[in-house]
Homo-oligomer: A and B are copies of this chain.
Amino acid sequence: MDISTILGITFGFGLVISAMSMGGGLAWFINAPSAMIVMGGTFGAVLINYPLSDVLGVVGVARKVVFQKEQKVEKVIGQLVDISKLSRREGILSLEKEMKHIHDPFLAKGIMMVIDGIDPATLSKILYTELEYIEERHKLGAEIFTTMGNFAPAMGMVGTLIGLVKMLMMMEDPSAIGPAMAVALITTFYGVILANLIFLPVAGKLKTRSGRELMVKELAINGIMSIQSGDNPRVLEQKLHSFISPGERKSIF
């Protein structure tokens, strides 16, 4: 599980909740109609905004944020250098027996096409198209969370307006105004906190993750093209190292 997500949730909610419970019960902050408006309104708006399949896919996406491990870039570079050496020593067709050690399906597809003898322009076109549409699908996940992060505070405002209108309509009892207004504000509170501690940060992490994954994939395309054109493994390594920071580079030569 992703350690920074756990830390962030613990830290963020921990401090906010402990501040809420100081000098007053947490129960003051629980209000069913407020939750109904913010949740119902936000999910309603998102359902109108996106096809059902995309919205349901978000559950899987959110799980990915918390549980999926990242590919190690150095490992991918190492593997590509090894493949490159093998290919220069024993010919491109010898890569066939290496295929079972390649677990990343994107890389495997690319190497398979090299073995199949597909010409470089077509190969590059296919892999870059694939990259582009992976990016599109990643973007959609982050975008849905960003959309939720935009609708939640607006729905909070809707709820607060509903509460204020009700309060103002029956203002005979001045002593009831305080608590009524408090309840009205709770909807805004829900909207702001959901947006800023859940929806927007998750959207942010999806973007960061996607950026990292796409970089590894672009690096892989560069490696595959280099292997196909029979580059020297040293040059290949140098090419791929330019994708990562000097501190991460570990040459095997």
Interface residues of A (CB under 8 A from B): 2-5, 7-16, 18-20, 22-24, 28-29, 33-34, 36-37, 39-41, 43-52, 54-55, 70, 105, 113, 118, 122, 125-127, 129-130, 133-134, 136-137, 140, 147, 151, 154-155, 157-159, 161-162, 164-171, 175, 178-179, 181-182, 185-186, 188-189, 192-193, 195-198, 200-202, 204-205, 208-209, 211, 215, 222, 235, 238-239, 242-246
Contact = CB atoms under 8 A, between A and B. Distances in A.
Nearest to A53: B4
A119 B83 CA distance: 23
Give the dominant DSSP class at A's interface.
Answer: helix
Nearest to A186: B165
B44 A4 contact: no
A113 B238 contact: yes
Contacts of A51: 2, 4, 70, 205, 208-209
Nearest to A49: B204
B169 A45 contact: no
A239 B129 contact: yes
Contact of A169 (B4, B24, B198, B200): B24
Nearest to A22: B33
22 contacts: A5-B47, A5-B48, A11-B44, A11-B47, A12-B45, A15-B36, A15-B40, A16-B36, A19-B40, A19-B162, A24-B170, A28-B169, A29-B162, A41-B197, A44-B197, A50-B204, A133-B242, A147-B204, A151-B196, A154-B192, A161-B186, A168-B179
A110 to B, nearest CB: 11
Contacts of A118: 235
B44 A13 contact: yes
A168 B178 contact: yes
Nearest to A166: B24
Contacts of A13: 44
Nearest to A179: B169
A160 to B, nearest CB: 9
Contact of A171 (B105, B130, B178, B201): B178
Contacts of A185: 161, 164-165, 168
Given A127-B242, A192-B157, A16 B28 contact: no
A131 B45 CA distance: 29
Nearest to A134: B245
Contacts of A188: 161
